[in-house]
Amino acid sequence: METFTKEEIRDIIISVVALIVIFAWKPFPNFGLNLGLIPYFTVIVIVAFLLHEMAHKWMARRFNMAASYKMWPQGILFGLIFMILGLKFVAPGAVVVHPYRFGRWGFRRPRPEVASGEMGLIALAGPAINLFSALVFSLFDGLLFNQLTFINAWLALFNLIPIPPLDGSKVLIWKPWIWMFCIAVALILVFI
């Protein structure tokens, strides 16, 4: 079984490039792409966004579920429109988890319930990697490390909002105390 499909690789590349452009865009009155910031935001997007999405995929695969990254073209379009207006809106896509898959002999894994823990752990994987990254980067000085800390913490905080389809709704149903702990850590890291 292949790890990434061609469509998934395409969607990941398009999403990463779109995020880099959105972050590196200079707002009014100096419209344009700040080429000097592209390497800087490439590191940030790979560490914050890409690791978040891949953590969901890796955790789902650990539970023998099929998972793939799907680009959300409307989210990228909204991001580009808001970018021109000077706002940073980023929702380029998400990992879609298929709670069953068929093997060579027709084995079918049944759909897990959110309360069973599997979907809760899959949902927690993305924000958890962001919180861990933010904690590690907060130990270092410098603009890049400060940005990596803030963006990872902000991404975790946003994804932990308990509104479906965000990760927080699944984590809250699964283990409310874990959700409260993660929200508290994310808030502390965002507002430090």
CA dihedral of residues 10, 133, 175, 67 (deg, nearest 10): 20
Q: What is the DSSP string of 115-162?
A: GGSHHHHHHHHHHHHHHHHHHHHTTS-SHHHHHHHHHHHHHHHHHTSS
Burial class (CB in 10 A: 0-12, 13-18, 19+), 144: middle
Calculate ∠ Cα 45-48-49, nearest 5°. Answer: 65
Asked if residue 130 lies in contact with residue 48, where contact means CB atoms within 8 angstroms, the answer is yes
Look at 10-14, 48-52, 163-167 and tell me which has the smallest mean pLDDT: 163-167
**113 counts as catalytic:** no
Average pLDDT of the segment spanning 15-41: 88
pLDDT in tens, 121-146: 999 999 999 999 999 999 999 999 99
Report the residue count for the chain: 192
pLDDT in tens, 81-112: 999 888 887 889 999 987 665 555 555 555 55
Exposure class string for 99-117: b at 16+ Cβ within 10 A, else e: beeeeeeeeeeeebebeee
Mapped onto helix, strand or coil, the DSSP state of residue 87 is coil
Report if residue 107 sits inside a domain: yes
Residues 6 or more apart in contact with residue 12 via CB below 8 angstroms: 4, 50, 53, 69, 71
Report if residue 154 sits inside a domain: yes
Report if residue 1 sits inside a domain: no
Domains: count for the chain: 1
Average pLDDT of the segment spanning 15-43: 89
Candidate list 2, 7, 8, 53, residue with the active-site label: 53
Which residue range forms the structural domain that includes residue 127? Answer: 6-191
Average pLDDT, the chain: 88
Looking only at the bridges linking them, the beta strands covering 25-26 and 66-71 are: unpaired
Looking only at the bridges linking them, the beta strands covering 93-98 and 25-26 are: unpaired
- Rounded distance between C-alpha atoms, residue 101 and residue 173, angstroms: 24
Report if residue 187 sits inside a domain: yes
Average pLDDT of the segment spanning 10-36: 89
Residue type, 164: P
